[in-house]
Structure 1
Amino acid sequence: MSDQQRYDDTTECGLHSFERNRFFHGKLMTARDMEAEQRYHRNRLRTLAEHVTGAGIVCGLETTVEADDGSLEVTIDAGLAIDSCGHPIVVESQTTEEIDIDELESDPTSLYIDYSDCVKETVPVPGSEDACGEECTYNRVLEIFELAHEPGPPPSDLKAVDTIEFPEKGDFDSTGDARDPDSIAAEDDALRQIATSFGQTAGGRLRGCDADGDHRVFLGRFGTASGDDESWSRVTDENLETPPRVYTNEMLYAAIARHAARFDDPHDVTAGQAGALESVEGVSNPGGDVALNSSDGSVSVEADDSANSVDLTVADRLQEQLSDLGDRVEELEQGLSAMQRELLKSTLHHKRLSFQLLSERFGVQSAEKVLDHTSTAIEDDVHEDIEAYLQFAEEVLEDEQAVLDELAAIDAVPDAALAQYAEAVEELEAVLETADDLPERELANRVAHAQGLVAETAEWIDVATETEEPPEDPQFTAGVYSIEEGGTAEITLSTGDAPELEIQIGEQTEDNYELLGRIDLTGQPYSELTLEFDTAVAGDSDEDALTVQEDVDLEIIEEATLDGTLDVSTYDLFLSVVADGGPRQVDLATLRVTASDDSQPNLESLEDSLENKAAAFNRVAGTINLEGASEIETMSEEAVENEIFASAEKYGNFIAEVAELERQMVTELVDSERATDESLGTYAAAVKRLGNAVENEANVQTLKSEQNGVSEAAGGLQRREEGTEIQPPIDVGSYTIDELEPIVSSDINELRDAQLTLAVEMANDGRRRAELLLLERIEDLRT
């Protein structure tokens, strides 16, 4: 509409005083008076629209852009807008405007619609002589719009939404309730807080009425796609302002009505945000209740709606149990406290004894200080008060560290013992440094342990002396010696420092264990001796079959049955040192005489060995009731059914598999204490010999022989009578520690019980540990 003649009625934006005509009888109404009348009404409506309705698009005005022969065709749908001066901008029907593309300063470009007006309908001025002359004028003013374009995007503050404040519950008086409008006084200032906050600036001043600088209405930003000059479209960008809208009464009513009609959760407020109950132990029921039940009646649930509470009470029977548990816990607490006091007390007495010995041995002054301090602590019963005990530990630590410095200057102090003491003192210091991190009771226990270690290592510090190395015991150079039947076995042994040796030879037969002979060797000690057994010689004397390579005296006991024709079997060789107190066994070896290649067992004998095994372990399963015995019986019966005896390889594999189960049965018998000691010992020895044969890959004849020995020993297992107590091999109560030590170390065979033997063997790395474990094991057996 740029070709229209513009008309300026001098109406300006902003605030102006309203001026209107005053009519009186006979008043002359001129064009000026008529224009004043129109201006009065137009300014009133424009001012209300500017400051009450607001600027923006009211409806319609959808805009599209197309390029055509160097021009840009902008099509605007019919619609209504209000500019920032309050002027209504009407597009009465869809209108297309053209813009020369060469005039555009950028791509994309921003389009605006602007209020304008023009004059129309020329008429002659009354009183003019020539109705078509220069005295003609326009008779109407048409309000139109102008299309404008700019290269840049619209201002980011095109239409801001001010911040307002809603009243809070605390803003009302004490008698009001924000959720009950009937109880809120109509004159309460809090109800006007929304309007008050909107009408004020951030500084608290009343909001001004200044008109915006740009009166145009933004239609949108349009541009071409990359590389395409013909296709124009609306630019969408999250940082780009959308065309402003007028908040009409219809829009505001629709928002209020929709909000009021939502009864679920119009603001999607979570239960956590509202401080409401979300779920109980993960169980939720949106919009409903979560029931609280007690299926066994252990908890009583009572709801009090008036108090908005649910009362949970424990059933009487559970309360009684809890009360009993509380009493029991109290008793345990008292018992633990008493035990802890005894522990603390024992560490004090141990410390006093240890540092007394240290003072007597080396005359260390710091050790005497520790001794005096500890004696005073014992007299003051500091073990009765954890805090006092910890304070004592901190005070005495400095003297214990000083002991270390003094001992380091003494040559007679062994370095190893001194290093152990230093490590113990460091551990005590480290434990005391954790005082702020541990509960008092736990800290006291750790300090007591560290104190005991300091006392123990102090007790170990003694004057270093030159010790004589114990004589080296003789030993066989190999654990197993094997020879085929008819060959010669060479058995080598190192003699150590022993001038006289004894070798006993024994064999486990199907009936019993038989001692076959004894060999005495005397003379000049050699570092190594070699005995030769010639199993092919059948002479009148045993010396025909046995020779010694070195120049020593050899004596064979005449009443023994040893000769040169050793059968296919496994023989035990017991090596002992002969001294004033009699022979002392020092080593054990095995001599295995295996069948030659042409001396294979017949299938019938292998089958018999399997059947004998099944029968023997059937008896064990019935009399002693062991799961392992039933499993071995089943495996043996299946082996007979599958005829594994027809293959020496299969038979050997079966024996290897079942030998492991038989070894486990030894452990089961020891733990269950169901078999007598004598029968258990016989069975365990037979299982061990079978295990050695499997480990050394013996031939099938030897495996059969050893397996028959296991079956016979298993059949001889005797059940221990119920109620029979296992008597300890020695009465510890009748010995002191010093008297007990040589008994344990000199002859471990006195400890016939397997668990006791194990305890001592495990404790070989320290005398104190051995003593404690031994005492503990024997005490367990007594109880």
Structure 2
Amino acid sequence: MSESSNGTAPRDCELEYFERNHYFHGKLMTPRDMEAQEAYHDGRLRMLARDVLGSGVVRGLAVEVEAVEGTSDITVTVSKGVALDCCGTPVVVEGGDGVEVSPVLAAEGDNDQYLYLKYDDCKRETVPVPGGGSGCGGECEYNRILEKFEIVAERVVDVDDPHRGPHVVEEVEFPKRSGVVDDDGQPKSSEEVNVELLRLARAYHETHRQPYTSCTDPHVYLCRITPTVAGETTTWSIVDDGLGQYVYSNELLYAAIARHAAAFDNPHETTLAARAGSSEREAFLHVRDGDDDEDDVRLTSAENQVEFEVTDASTLDLSVPGVKTNADNIATNTTDITNNTTNISENTTKIGENTTNITTNTENIENLTKRVSMLERYVLDKTLKYKISCFERAAEAFNGTFAQDVARKIVARAEAGIRGGVYRNTKENRDDRAFHVFVGKNREEETFEGLEVVEDDDIITVTENDHEITIDTDEYRERGDPGFDVDSEEGVLKGDFTLFDLELLFRDAVSEISDSRHDPPLEPSYEEALRELRDVLNDDEAEEVDVAVAQDLVCETVEWLRPTGEQRGFEFELDPEQVQTRIHETLVVSGFSSRPRGTTVRVRISRTGDNPLLVTGEGEVGRDSRWRVEFPVGDFERGTYEVRATDGAESQSKRLDVR
């Protein structure tokens, strides 16, 4: 009897600190301790495999595919072998057993399938739990976990995903001859040669070392298969698309480096000889490569100029003054011809390498531009979501005021921007500047009602309780006239406002009724943040992300605005208040504090009655004035506990019943 674990990896792929057991005499070893020790060794081995060896096929794993008659399913047979996925997990295949896979086929279009090998495991061998009754008539548990594999078929493949294709090392500069021999051709000392090897390693890491990335869906790419339909019969064939993943073993790498780096004079093992032709202006170059293939290149000249064809059908001109039938003269010039041919070969190789580099660099620039555009869209999207969060809290803080009405309209405008996709601006449609226009140019009519409002020339005064809110309309006209319309009798204020205008209006609405709860005062202030945003909006050369950064600064200052005199205290809650004593559950203690960001909150849990248990934990007050501390429920026995939390200025206690 067995139970599949749905193909999940044995551990996650995040890079974390390693934690192992501390053993001492009399320590009670629980399943949690055993699992911690297993995770310690497993995590270290997978980290070395992932970050030293790489991912892909290590050995074997040849693929055969056969259609299942009468269905759209296929049977995939993978030969014996082993692979490493991007988590560093070894995936072992015993071989011989066919795995039935159900491809997802489209009604029309390309139905090629990309096959992946993926780690899977299953629980097996049930045994009775001690104290759970006799045999499996009572409580039972699985005794073993079998590590096996599954085959996954997908219709598309992302070749840009570093975990779904081959790791390509574009170019590494090997040490030149001058790095290992001196000017007299004598070998340098081992210390001097090691400097060259260090340079080789440094050049590789400076070019190819990338920021650490996590692998969220480990697969090992095997091959691509394509269907051929003839009547009611479907056959599948394997396509060599060059995307296979392979682990570059040390044996392979060392052999390649040693062979190439040691062959300084003639790495391609070619020989060259010259001999006379049958006429006064004819000669032959005799070339032999490492495979003993022999070719003669005919050189002829009418005007002291020789032409011969090369493999790419272009021509190369060689200046050969006075080619004669005298074999001795040709032999005398053999050394020069050999040197020139070597230089030509080297230059041709470099031209090919440069062409490859240009192509690669162009692709890299395109990929970088694409990724920058994606990052820019992400930043713009997050800016709008941050604005919604900040001004929703501001609307709640200034409940029942004109400032609340303005804050709600800012939230509605930001939500409309997300629905309209203004954050989808990319480098390709740079001229659109949709986000820039959305913040500073698009005007929509907004109406505020129920106000005590008076207009006097360019000044609009809104009276609210004991405060007078002053709106200087001249400031709004600097970037276009919103067209303020005041109806004092009805208590209505209208206008065609941009999002930036609404943020100015919010500043005016809170100018007399707010203060900052940030200690020390948050700099720059809301006024300075608006000034910076105005400068960016007026700059025609500013990027969309510049507008987003300035908007974020406005939101940060809004977060700390509260009505004057509002008292923010200290409180916390237990989630859940009553918990079961299960090993993997946690007790969450979280709350709110008026102390500055970064203030330490200490939580102490003690058991009431005899033999009290004391557990402590610490958290920090975050930017949103929230804090959080977690405790493993497995540390507690059944009983009643007192949970006491303090931020240094205030404290609070609650009762916790553990059952």
- Per the normalisation by structure 2, the TM-score is 0.38
Structure of greater relative contact order (alpha carbons < 8 Å, 6+ residues apart): 2
Query: Is the helix fraction higher in 1 or 2?
Result: 1
- Length-normalised TM-score, structure 1: 0.32
Would you tell me which structure has more strand in proportion to its own residues?
2
